[in-house]
Amino acid sequence: MFTLIQLKKTALALSLCTALIPTTSFAKVIKVDPGNSNAYATLASATEVLRAGDTLWIEPGTGPYREVLRVPVSGTEGDPIIIEGNGNEITGFEPLKFKNGNASVKADSSFVLRFEGKRIKQHTNGEFEYGVEYDPSNGLISLSRGISDEGWEISSRDAVVVLGTVFNHIYRNLVVTGSLNDGINLHGKSSGLVFDNVEVYQNFDEGISAHDTVELTIRNSRFYENDNGLLNIGKSYVRLENVDFYDNLGLGLAFSGEAGFYAENVRTWGNGITQLLIRKEVDASCDVLEVYQNGNKEKPWMTYSESANMNKVSNSVLSHRFVWRSGEPTYYNQTTPNDVH
């Protein structure tokens, strides 16, 4: 599995060798770099000019990008649209300013808090970690004495990466954080979508969620510290290759409706409620799907949206109607893989 450091090294190597980007004679490399007057300053302005075969190149080290990434046009099988993130973060987080240890947000709101890059979670009694207090009646967030006013962020956007009905996109080397909904939200009749070496974390709802009849592939990626790692519904289908789901507050890997998936070298561990959930008429196959012991005796964190009312912890939850099409998971008594410390 790629670490964030490896992701950045990969991005640097790519930046030194742009000839590796497959393009047709008519394809363009659309560069995004707020500090370069010859490049596009925002993702939104760059996506407006994308066409089949083009590459949107986000210059290494220019993030975070505090905006929504939407690509409304499609590629083709021979000329996909490529989004090369180069390790940059696209985020729904915005800086949260404190004065004398207090900050105000919208009353009775739900959000993700981050301090110096770490998610500040809520216990099931509603209290935040590190003595952070929140009064939903007036939207006041208060810090305990001795905690710095600096380095705080709060989720402020309903979306980070959102796609409707589009075809043949490749997203690689991206970091996606801070959405008030899913980090990556997919709807419609999309197909030919590939997410390669993406790191998706600290989103209020799922890290990624596919709906309707979306078809996609996820490779070499990590999903953690979201409400749920992945939850696909409808008649969506995902192929998972070398993907980890861990330390999400609720569910690690989950499917409902008539969703389908194939999992190859996939691991799920350390998630608050359950590592694997499969409901209803899900069509599932696997070749090395590792499910690790849930070390929690009770629900450790407050969860939201789909898992909000789930309180019983387990290793897996499989519908009584469910049958694996091929393969079965391997269940481990240990709580983490051997290579995780």
Q: Which pLDDT tens digit goes with each residue over 128-157? A: 999 899 999 999 999 999 999 999 999 999
Please check whether residue 216 is in contact with residue 195, taking contact to mean a CB–CB distance below 8 angstroms: yes
Residue bearing tokens 């080397």: 173
Residue 19 pLDDT:
35
The span from the CA of 292 to the CA of 276, in Å, is: 10
Percent of the chain at pLDDT > 70 equals: 93
What residue type is assigned to position 297 of the chain? K
Q: Which residue has the higher pLDDT, 9 or 149?
A: 149
Select from 238, 230, 237, 193 the least CA-distant residue to 213: 237
Q: Once rounded to an integer, what is the mean pLDDT over residues 168-184?
A: 98
Tens digit of each residue's pLDDT (9 = 90 or more) over 277-289: 998 799 999 999 9
The span from the CA of 211 to the CA of 100, in Å, is: 44
Residue 10 pLDDT:
53
Q: Which of 1-10, 246-255, 297-306, 311-320 has the lowest mean pLDDT?
A: 1-10
Q: What is the pTM of this model?
A: 0.92
CA 12, 15, 17, 20: dihedral to nearest 10 degrees? 100
In order of start, what are the domains of the chain with their CATH numbers?
Answer: 4-91+158-332 (2.160.20.10), 93-155 (no CATH)
CA 260, 261, 262, 265: dihedral to nearest 10 degrees? -160
Tens digit of each residue's pLDDT (9 = 90 or more) over 86-128: 999 999 999 999 999 999 998 788 999 999 999 999 999 989 9
Q: Once rounded to an integer, what is the mean pLDDT over residues 68-72?
A: 98
Give backbone dihedrals phi and psi of 273, rounded to 5 degrees, phi first. -100, -55
Residue 84 pLDDT:
98
The number of angstroms, rounded, from the C-alpha of 255 to the middle of its chain's C-alpha atoms is 16
Tens digit of each residue's pLDDT (9 = 90 or more) over 205-238: 999 999 999 999 999 999 999 999 999 999 999 9
Residue bearing tokens 């209020």: 204
- DSSP-derived 3-state class of residue 188: coil
